[in-house]
Chains A and B, each alone.
Chain A
Amino acid sequence: MNDGLAIDVEGVTKRFGGRTVVNNLAMRVRRGEIYGFLGPNGSGKTTFLRMLCGLLRPDAGRGSCLGYDIRSQSAEIKQRVGYMTQRFSFYEDLSLEENLDFVARLYAMPDRRQAVARSLESLGLVGRRRQLAGQLSGGWKQRLALAACLIHQPDLLLLDEPTAGVDPKARRDFWEEIHRLAAQGLTFLITTHYMDEAERCHSLGYIAYGNLLARGTVEEVIQGAGLTTWEVSGGGLWELAESLRGLPGIEQVVAFGSTLHVSGRDAARLQSSLEPWRKGPFRWRAVDSSLEDVFISLMDAARDNFQQG
């Protein structure tokens, strides 16, 4: 059905009081895919997710979500989509079980009790089911939110920064769960700021100031940026960084632990600018650009464009 695409939209635009927050955005997500949606704060990720699940009406754009028209069939879409909001949005004065039961009722689940029990079970929440949601720690709240999004057995999950403020172990468990569910055929659109999470996605999209700047697999995104990166180590790196910034061809100088990453898209100019420091006390090594190098470069470029335009 529908070429196996869970999300297929184009030209999606949203303005708030004259300010374009999502600009002419196109996105295709295959069924069963984990799609990572990245971009700086305020770039329009949440707004885009809200438009997909019918919380906001796009000002322009067309397309389908799970085969339903995003403009006219938001009721059908809501039935088949689970949306996990950026901010915890369940009732803190209700217990886990009561929260899940409420959600199950909203979706008019025929076998509600079993659905709640199943969802408590599968996410390991049984022991805490009578605990008030407000007393849970960040990791458990996030599990509850995921359980609640899954309870009506949706085909598509929209997760908005699901792992913000969650410890590394809980994050890893969470991603294991995501991959297990994706293997069963669920589609995920996940926003995140973590690079390790981005690398766990099948596909990525990078948005800044409402514009989708890059998309593809991790490799494709890195290749597409055409960034050359040198790693420097040695003493006096801070002074070196200060001198390098702003030289022709040097687009970013970023500290990575005890090393420095110096990158630019024009490999030749980068090389000639670095020449004076090649001897000195520093050790130089050409490295593959990381996803983070690429995203920072994309963001800087977007900001320059944005400020000029």
Chain B
Amino acid sequence: MKRFAFSPARFWAVVIKEFIQMRRDRVTFGMMVGIPMLQLVLFGFAINMNPKNLPTAVLAADQGVFSRTLVWAMRNSGYFAVTRVVSSEEEIRSLLRLGQVQFVVHIPEDFSRRLLRGEQPALLLEADATDPSATSYALSALSSLVANAFDRDLKGPLRRLQAGPAPVELRIHRHYNPEIVTQYNVVSGLLGVVLTMTMVIITALAITRERERGTMENLLSTPVRPGEVMIGKLIPYILVGYVQAGLILLAAWALFRVPMLGSVPLLLGVMLAFIGANLAMGITFSTLAHNQLQAVQMAFFYFLPNILLSGFMFPFRGMPDWAQVIGEILPLTHFLRIVRGILLKGNGLAEILPELWPILLFIGVMLSLGIKRYRRTLD
């Protein structure tokens, strides 16, 4: 009977063997340390649920002292960074659609004069509310700000204006998502996230599997060229990507009633570039990984910053500069802006071009890296 009892010696043999194998697999070992560190840094330092310094444009038809006070107070609140002074309505529309500003403040004519008369002039704030979480703190800060901003200017006989109702009437226009439906933002973002996750993993596995199973050697002894293998492998996955995208768009439309203001064919066209970027990344991983487990780990390592720094989960403008720089490199960041731009803002090709070329650049860099590595592994 004793033979069947739990043997510490046998159990210890397994423990030792596992440790040796763990140490030999450098990539896995690195990931075990790297992934928690990455999470710590991203969650700890990069994520900020309370974004500040949001780019704001000012259209001031009044140059009076109260206008200046207002702009100064908004700046001082920390939430608004006045980056533009604009003079026309078209300029405002274009800035908002391109996502170059989050807010536009309209200071009407006679603002100062009417304020002095106690007429509660209207102060119009237009907000890009595609991502409701990016603007909510700033908007509530603004409400309390306008109530007291003018106190210092309202001295002496004007003091009575302080006591009365708010000196200005704040009107807020939330563009692109007026009902503040978080799903609009999340569901359209999910399109990019799902594509990133599956495309990178599948392609990273596809070539690593050939190598791990030894079928690569056979393939290379035939007349087939590396380019033919790569492109041949990618086509089926591009199709898979489109099927996924189709399903998500269908669900977005039927279940979540996400508005589709822009052209869906345009979106599907641009998607090719985004899928291409993910496949290029996957191929590069597959040339670096020695086995399928490593390929999956690398894909996961890539997935983390994508989720956290692209503006999918947390407002992009809430992140520190270094995190924004990393975010700008990732194709997902740009694709999210494109998807939201087309679906929620009704943007056309001209407006999404500034987000398209970084994706194309990413493809170029990754593909040349991948092909270079692929060539080298032949020898």
Query: Taking beta carbons and an 8 Å cutoff, which residues of A are in contact with B?
Result: 50, 53-57, 75, 78-79, 81, 83, 85, 87-92, 103, 106-108
B222 touching A106, Cβ below 8 Å: yes
Q: How far is the CA of A87 from the CA of B210 in the complex (A)?
A: 13
* Chain B residues with CB under 8 A of A90: 215, 218
B221 touching A85, Cβ below 8 Å: yes
B215's partner among A55, A78, A89, A106 (CB-CB below 8 A) is A89
Q: Tell which of B215, B216, B218, B220 has the most Cβ of chain A within 10 Å.
A: B218
A87 touching B214, Cβ below 8 Å: yes
B220's partner among A55, A91, A107 (CB-CB below 8 A) is A55
Assess A88 versus B221: contact at CB under 8 Å? Given A55-B378, A56-B379, A57-B379: no
Residue of A nearest to B216 (CB): A89
Q: How far is the CA of A50 from the CA of B224 in the complex (A)?
A: 16
From 201 to 235 in chain B, residues with beta carbon under 8 angstroms from any chain A beta carbon are 213-224
A106 touching B224, Cβ below 8 Å: yes
Q: How far is the CA of A163 from the CA of B36 in the complex (A)?
A: 48
Q: How far is the CA of A36 from the CA of B210 in the complex (A)?
A: 29
A78 touching B379, Cβ below 8 Å: no
Q: How far is the CA of A54 from the CA of B218 in the complex (A)?
A: 12
Q: How far is the CA of A77 from the CA of B137 in the complex (A)?
A: 69
Q: How far is the CA of A75 from the CA of B224 in the complex (A)?
A: 9
B214 touching A88, Cβ below 8 Å: yes
B221 touching A107, Cβ below 8 Å: no
A78 touching B218, Cβ below 8 Å: no
* Chain A residues with CB under 8 A of B378: 55-56
Q: How far is the CA of A54 from the CA of B378 in the complex (A)?
A: 10
A85 touching B217, Cβ below 8 Å: yes
A75 touching B223, Cβ below 8 Å: yes
A107 touching B215, Cβ below 8 Å: no
B213's partner among A53, A57, A92 (CB-CB below 8 A) is A92
Q: How far is the CA of A19 from the CA of B216 in the complex (A)?
A: 24
Q: Is the interface of B mostly helix, strand, loop or mixed?
A: helix
Chain B, 50-76, contact with A by CB distance < 8 Å: what is the 0/1 string?
000000000000000000000000000
Task: Count contacts between A and B, CB distance < 8 Å.
Answer: 43
A-B contact pairs, 19 of them (CB 8 A): A54-B221, A55-B217, A55-B220, A55-B221, A56-B378, A56-B379, A75-B223, A78-B222, A85-B217, A85-B221, A87-B214, A88-B214, A89-B216, A89-B218, A90-B215, A90-B218, A106-B222, A106-B224, A107-B222
Q: B17 to nearest A CB, angstroms?
A: 24
* Chain A residues with CB under 8 A of B219: 106
Q: B61 to nearest A CB, angstroms?
A: 70
Q: Enumerate the 5 nearest inter-chain pairs by beta-carbon distance, A residue then B residue, closest first.
A: A89-B218, A83-B221, A106-B222, A89-B214, A87-B214
Q: Tell which of A79, A103, A106 has the most Cβ of chain B within 10 Å.
A: A106
A106 touching B223, Cβ below 8 Å: yes
Given A89-B216, A107-B223, 6 more contacts at CB 8 Å? A50-B217, A53-B221, A55-B378, A57-B379, A83-B221, A85-B218
* Chain A residues with CB under 8 A of B221: 53-55, 78, 81, 83, 85
* Chain B residues with CB under 8 A of A89: 213-218
Q: A117 to nearest B CB, angstroms?
A: 20
B223 touching A78, Cβ below 8 Å: yes
Q: Tell which of B217, B220, B222, B378 has the most Cβ of chain A within 10 Å.
A: B222
Q: A233 to nearest B CB, angstroms?
A: 44
Residue of B nearest to A83 (CB): B221
Residue of B nearest to A134 (CB): B213
Q: A62 to nearest B CB, angstroms?
A: 18
Q: B40 to nearest A CB, angstroms?
A: 37
* Chain B residues with CB under 8 A of A106: 219, 222-224
A85 touching B214, Cβ below 8 Å: yes
Residue of A nearest to B220 (CB): A55
Residue of B nearest to A49 (CB): B221
Q: How far is the CA of A88 from the CA of B224 in the complex (A)?
A: 19
Q: A160 to nearest B CB, angstroms?
A: 10
Residue of A nearest to B224 (CB): A106
Q: How far is the CA of A55 from the CA of B216 in the complex (A)?
A: 11
Residue of A nearest to B218 (CB): A89
A103 touching B223, Cβ below 8 Å: no
Q: A158 to nearest B CB, angstroms?
A: 8
Q: A240 to nearest B CB, angstroms?
A: 40
* Chain A residues with CB under 8 A of B217: 50, 55, 85, 87, 89
Q: How far is the CA of A55 from the CA of B223 in the complex (A)?
A: 11
A79's partner among B220, B223, B379 (CB-CB below 8 A) is B223
* Chain B residues with CB under 8 A of A108: 223
Q: A145 to nearest B CB, angstroms?
A: 9
Q: A148 to nearest B CB, angstroms?
A: 8
Q: How far is the CA of A106 from the CA of B216 in the complex (A)?
A: 13
